Structure 1
Amino acid sequence: MELRKRQAKILQDLFEKKRISVDTILDEYGISKRTLYYDLNKINDWLSEDNFGMANIEDKEIVIEITNLASIEKQMHRGKEYYFSSEERRAIEFLFITLNSEKIVIDDLKNAFDVSRNTILSDLKSVKSEIEESGELKFCNSIKQGYYVTGDESALRKIIQEKINELKTPEGKAVLKIYMQNSLFSLTENEIDFYKLCICIIKQYELDIKNEYILSDMQTEGFMIQVSWIRSLKGYTIKLSDDEKNALTGTLSYRSVENSVEKMARCGIEMVQEEVYYLASMLLGIETTGFKTHREEERFIEKIADQFISNFERITCLVFYNRSKLRHELFHHLRALFYRMKYGTPSDNPLTRDIKQMYSFVFEATRRAIAEVGNNFMRDIPDTEIAYLCIYMVSNLDEKKVHQSAKYDGSILIVGPKNMAIATLIKEQIQNLLGDSFEYDVISLSRLKTRMLSEYVMVVLVDVPRGKVTGENVVETVSYLTRKISRRLWIYCRMRSCYPNTTTK
């Protein structure tokens, strides 16, 4: 007679350990006592055929007595099959369901693991409970589709990687490797060894970055590249934010993956663009976002913004008049900044030196405030990025509310982009140029009313599309005052007879 795989594995365990508790067997294999007794009877039938010995239960332990050690050892190693533990089996079942090329039903899993229908149902109940715990994924079953998982793809990929990492044995990894190869063949009708191709992508990455590959488990990354292929071919892709995409585009990792994907495309092996970003992030050795959902990402950035503002107020002993407005502005900037720092692609800022000189106190307070938010990516921000944050803080400290009443002749209005940062810097430059003979107001373009053009002696437009606002007293400038624009401002004031006689330096 032949033993089933589970029975053979139990016998192998008994042969190696001689004595195992009943509870240990029940927990490890996820079976009932009734099933265990059935298996022990089959094991004893097999042992009795050649007088190898007998297995009995004594004091809640299974004990084996062997009468012919050499013969049983030889027999057990003949055609030996591996039996998966309940944890490994459940992990593989989940991977089969999420990485299949056609629908998966109970009989498929039952035959794959040589276990009962009840065992598979128990496994799937456990899997369903685990993956639905976060509320982001749903484990489903239908006659048309079989078993499948719906929900946020980013959350699903994270669980897929966790399940791959749970495969600790060579047998488990071998089963997954074969299964994904078969799925990719069915989806692409290409007989290439996809796992080897994935390893080639990783090796090319090594050459491109001219360094030893930083990930400790190349096999897992090779598997995850295949996961990316299978899921995207089935229509499920990772949706990264535009901020993260922009940050990734500037990395060597992205360029390496992009070049590899272009080469494969010429050979008829396609990969969607969204997955190029995903793979670039993975090869950088950093989790895609660290967030299971986009809402989780938003809450994280909001928390950074709130902590940053609180830190700044504590350090400077100042309070922002319109905290919600500043928080909204910082949210969009900090999200982009977070990904730039995460992927090592900080932005340039030609005004950094000027900002540090003009707002030295605010600049240092900004540096301290962002460093104390408690996130590793935010601790070593370069001065170029600090300068941008500094302008946000200055603009919200200095911004004046525009009154409804008309202004007197000595007022100048600076109209800037929505975030006000550059407009505030322009205000300081104009103030240095023209002195304190005027009052200066700063507003965003969205708040500009037509009647305001006649209420100010001069309206300076900063980075506003040409021709959008016109008038005799309107002067257009870019994000910094050039010598030519500065002279135009000075001459304009002289012509309007609103500026005292002075000489230019």
Structure 2
Amino acid sequence: MYMDERSLTLLQEVLKNPSISNQRLGEKFHLTRRQVSYSFKKINEWLLDNNYSSIQKNNQGHFLVDPNVTLLLSKKDEADAEKEYLPTEKERVHLLLLMILTSETALSTSHFTSALQFSKATIMRDIKMLQQLLKKEDLEILYTRQNGYQVIGDEWQIRRKMMELIAEVHQMFHGDNYLRKFTSITKETIQQIYEKIERVEKKLELKFTDEKIFILPYVFASMLRRIEMGKGISSYFQINYNELSDTNEYQAVEILLEGVADLAEEERLYMALQLLTSNVSYQSVLTENQLPRLNRALDAMLTILEEKALIQFKNRVELVEKLSLHMKPAYYRIKYHLTMSFMIPDVIHEEFNALHFLVKESIWPLENFIGETIPDEEIYFITLFIGGHLIKTGEITQHKKPSAIVICPNGVSISKLIESQLAKLFPEFHFWQTMSIREFEKTAPNVDVVFSVTPVETTCKLYIMSHYMSFEEQQRLRQRVMNEVFHVVTESLDLEQLLARIEQHVEVTDRSNLKKELYGFFQEKDRNKVTDFQKEEIEYCLEDLMSSNMTRVVKSVPNWHTAIELTAAPLLEAGFIDQTYVNAMKSLYPEIAPYIVLKGNILLPHARPEDGVNKFGLSILKVEDGLIFNGKKIHLLVVLAPVDKKKHLTAMFQLLTIASNQQVIDKLKNATSGTAICQIFKENLTK
């Protein structure tokens, strides 16, 4: 009996969320009710075939799963893996390509049918799909009787694709078995390289992530095999020998190459790059000569981000140090164009969309240091890192609490973000430092709860979770943990559902304001029904802040400081700010500074919340004659009075979007009243 990909996906989801309904499973994975039921029938048949209890449901409709199934999915080294799982079409294509790239013998379709146990017709369809896939990578698959199937193209690009394939196959169910089978690399070879990598870890005083420690032996073994086959890297890729040869990683390559003779210098440099571009989970010593310059570039980036986002980082030195650790491998990925493309989950876009926009606006000191444009994928990782720091800042819990730990096989950026999210979601717990799977298995810490993104063997209470949890998933996880660990039945208010019910009976003209009023009402009536992470959901958009009473138009201003006073006047009169806030802005900006100019179209003077902000607010001034900056007239001034670090980020993102749209700016220049200006803003807001 086979376990297909869809059934495996549903089983993994049920392990993470036993209370999920069949209907919700269907909605999440775009399946019909019949498809969901059929998959669970196959899952139960597979479980019974492997001597495990079938999945049942209790009276509340929750799934009941044998705890040993979690351990079954955590095992990756079973000899009969191919008897348990049927690779999908996409997985078969990956396996075929990996087989071609690592084989020392000429391969024909008969080799593929024998290895995959599929018909020749199916294999030929897979090869056709493989040809289309390689065409997008500027590679080509070629067949001759003498040499069999071969991939033709740039060796640099071929190896990049090979590393991606190894990572993809490793993520398959029983991926290690498939890697060994389709690369024909023995367990002994993998163990030998693994031991060398452990020596490299000691020399470099670092720990590779769990994912990397499993993948690197196959990567190095496969590269060495291609080198033996005469598939070498050429020198025209302009790898800078002087820049790499004095790094510890280059010297550590000698450990990996013990027993390998006559290897070209380009190949040794390339091997060093693979170490330099591997994420690490911690590192105690950083000795590169360029580190002080990297730290200065990071510090400059954070300064610009503070100015643009109107925030001030706590524990800034710590943040720079951790960013430096993250950027060490990222530097070489960016410099030598080794960043692999990936999809960012939608929840990340929703959670950090505004922050990501601001980070992109502030990234240029780092780009100047590296000498390359930083890909969007790398900027997202930096955004996640900074977002995690913002979430964690201020979380001081000294009281004795139940203990919890987060197990994550990925790098620093992702694991720290997960830890920060969970610490915010569960203030009832004291969280240990995040561990990799290897560290957890070796130390076996005595904790009450284990949160993990992958099944692990433990006697503690285990909760399987996603790398990135939506707000709904956070609510469900909190309800489960509070009920099962603290025996507290939590009631979580869904304000969106309540709003929808109200809108069925009455016309709601200001939905955002009603949501805030409802939140305030329930917080006052029963604080236990409103959780911390629900409070975080309430952020301010420009539409919440825009008011014709706060927007004024004047013909001209005699000077810059008068412009600040006139812009801030509505906020001052309404009590949103004190005079000290106006004085602080004038003191900070004796003249117009470049970093308060948004896209050359909007001036944004501001000070710190503690300088006299009483209530979150925004005011706008349009100067018809304009103010001159760098030879250009700027007609719009905005004073944003922030009360904390996060709630204004969405408004900042929207302001930057407006400032970037010249058509909207032209409309605002022609507006003659505060009401007209507010209307133009609201019609062109991007949430």
- Larger Rg belongs to: 1
Asked if these proteins are the same fold (TM beyond 0.5), I'd say no
TM (norm. structure 2) is 0.31
TM (norm. structure 1) is 0.41
Q: Which has the higher contact order (CA 8 A, sep 6+)?
A: 2
